[in-house]
Structure 1
């Protein structure tokens, strides 16, 4: 796949789905692993917000001192490591918050580092440590508020209301639920990204297979004609110079046509997405195949049954290549000098039959041996079938059925 295709497919993928812009920013933040900016913002928010909360809750809580500031700073600073050590940070922020609350300092944004630490742990897949950290925070808070308050500062205070415990529990549940939702969404985005990559790889593989099949069909047919005519020219060079000249003329025409078709196939590689310079060959070019076969000494009889129709480009190209490959195999492997091509048109399908009377020559004719496989692939790509093999009475037969993908237009 070219860089141009990657940019195009990547743009289409972002338009069709994938994470939103803020999530891509989160992913980049995660890749850096040291989230300085967000951590500094949280430190500033916790310090300023806790100072404001301390002034609002002067009684009965302990005023903020250096130890309180250190706890707030340490709990927030742990967030620098939340991508590398998510479990440790989740428990560390919870412990810092518990010590802060146990020391009798006022409520405030002390819970923000806990939320971010547990959030990062869940997103990173450390669900149990994250749940354990928030559970420890809630249980510790309940013990401090309803039992340990007797021995902890400030002195003379009473138990907290259970309404506050419900509020803390709701806060914990909201944090965990939001983290779980983001984790699920990130897994879904990852799956979609892998599916898009797999689909792009399949498209690239299918394109390579199509080009390889086209090149095989073009070169196999043309080189077979050239090979036969070169043999004729060499044999008649001294005894019949005029016939040798005719063979050389046929070689020149076949090579020129092969070069043109190869150039057309390769143009699709140089300029993906651009329209080809000439239309793909179809059944309207069967007379050319007959002339080329005649130049090799093979007589081809064409027969048509049913009402001739215009085929869709894909079906027309497949039909042309199947006939071309079948005739190439006759030239290469058969001792027969005649072949019959029958086109059977039906409302939604085309039948192809190519017969030769044989027998097989048994000579080494060259080639990759992929001709029949290529014909089957072309037919299967259209939902059709193909059968090829020896006939009971001798010779060889290729029988194919190609369905139409759209209702064709009849000739007048």
Structure 2
């Protein structure tokens, strides 16, 4: 990965300030060395002025070393090529070229750095070969050391470049992992919020609907029977039904809200909702004036808690929909413990989204729930209500399926739930927009 040296998160100084400071330090070292050398060597004033100008150019160019690394390396090299044959003071201007060569390699211009190092070595070697015997400035040992220094500068710059790229890659991976963890946390929170909302919808919707129906029926009978004795009996009967329904609603509400309790709080001890309470559920519906009939075929088996709760909630929500919308008088609940696992039912209308009609896994025993009523049914082509969507999501989360459709006799909710909890439940689909208020079911 390409990572510019200047992008490295580092100290308190900005990159340009650091470059200016480096240029000033190198200039100070070269100038001090040149002044000391000038005490022992004399030269014409013009050469001295030209030498100092080359020193200023070579050291000043280092300010741009990370923005224009190759150009700065070329400028410092040319300054050295002119400076050393011209000046008798021989200041360490080579430091500027060495630093520029290192920066070129560290900034990712590896080929240019190798080329400049090779040109420098060849130029020095050719210059020494053309010297007369006994007049060489650099002997063979010094030439070999110069080659080693040039190679080391390029290698160290390359290593620094690789290190920064590695650190940048680690940082990017850490950021990606953090973002993924945050996304998973948000997804988990969303799924848990939707699960709790679905539980509260099923509990409160069912109980409040029954209470509303029972209260309405009591008021109707009171208006038809003005006698005090008959009115008192009617009111007592209605209040008993409301009391029983509200008590059950509070029990289930406490159990659902138990997941939000702190670790040091006591958890609810009442039994969780399941098919074992199906009789109580049917009895409450009967108190609202429905004729509820239950039919069980096959051999019941113990269900995992998630499946047991889902089956109970599907029946509960279906009875809620019948009470609130259908205007039905009779409801038949059928539990088939020996349903064919390979049988699938396609959604024959728009009451359930097409992806709801998924196939249960082959070879998995299923429990089939059918809740049929003789009411008016849902309007054809109308949008599915949040209750039906919630039931479908429950079934789909467990690897089952649920369809809801109008029939000749009324309305039918048909669900198939696996008798075992799937090890890898299907991915939860994105939450759908709730149906507008007043939509049936």
Q: TM-score, normalised by structure 1?
A: 0.65
1:223–1:186 Cα change, 3 Å: same
Q: Which residue matches 2:302?
A: 310
Change (3 A) 1:382 1:361: closer
Counterpart of 2:429 in structure 1 is none
The structure 1 residue matched to 2:242, chosen from 234, 251, 258, is 251
Q: Could you report, residue by residue, the CA deviation over 1:340-396 in whole angstroms, capped at 9, with x for unpaired residues?
A: 212222494432333334231889xxxx931000001101111111111112x3111
Partner-residue secondary structure (3-state), 1:237: helix
- Asked if the contact 1:72/1:96 (under 8 Å) is kept, the reply is no
Equivalent residues in 2 for 1:383-394, closer than 5 Å: 383-391=399-407, 393-394=408-409
Between Structure 1 and Structure 2, the one with more helix by share is 1
Shift of 1:192: 1.8
**Does the aligned pair in 1 maintain the 2:377–2:411 contact within 8 Å?**
no
Mapped pair 1:330 → 2:322: yes
Give the conservation status (yes or no) of the 8 Å contact 2:286–2:292. yes
Q: Deviations over 1:150-198 (max 9, x none)?
A: 889xx81257339625544443443333333333333322222222121
Indicate conservation of the 8 Å contact 2:117/2:151, yes or no: no
Aligned 8 A contact 1:232 1:244 in 2: no
1:265 Cα deviation (Å)?
3.0
Paired position in structure 2 for 1:145: 121
Contact 2:254 2:268 in 1 (8 A): no
SS at match of 1:147: helix
CA shift in 2, pair 1:171/1:226, >3 Å: same
Query: Cα gap change, 1:150/1:156 in structure 2, threshold over 3 Å: closer, same or farther?
Result: farther
Counterpart Cα distance in 2 of 1:140 and 1:170: 13
The separation in 2 between residues aligned to 1:388 and 1:362, in whole angstroms, is 10
Q: Distance in 1 between matches of 2:258 and 2:104?
A: 55
Mark the CA change 1:116 to 1:316 in structure 2 (over 3 Å): closer, same or farther: farther
Corresponding position of 2:389 = 373
CA contact (8 A) 2:378 2:406 kept: no
Counterpart check, 1:30 vs 2:45: no
The 3-state SS of whatever aligns with 1:339 is: strand
Over 3 Å counting, the alpha-carbon distance change for 1:254 and 1:177 in structure 2 is same
- Stretches of structure 2 that go unaligned for 5 or more consecutive residues are 1-7, 34-53, 85-91, 129-135, 339-362, 424-441
State the superposition RMSD in angstroms: 4.8
Helix, strand or coil for the counterpart of 1:227? helix
- Residue 131 of structure 1, aligned match among 108, 118, 126: 108
Give me the TM-score of the superposition, normalised by structure 2: 0.61
* Unaligned 5+ runs, structure 1: 1-28, 55-66, 80-86, 120-129, 408-412
Residues matched between the structures, number: 341
Could you report, residue by residue, the CA deviation over 1:110-136 in whole angstroms, capped at 9, with x for unpaired residues? 9799879976xxxxxxxxxx213x554
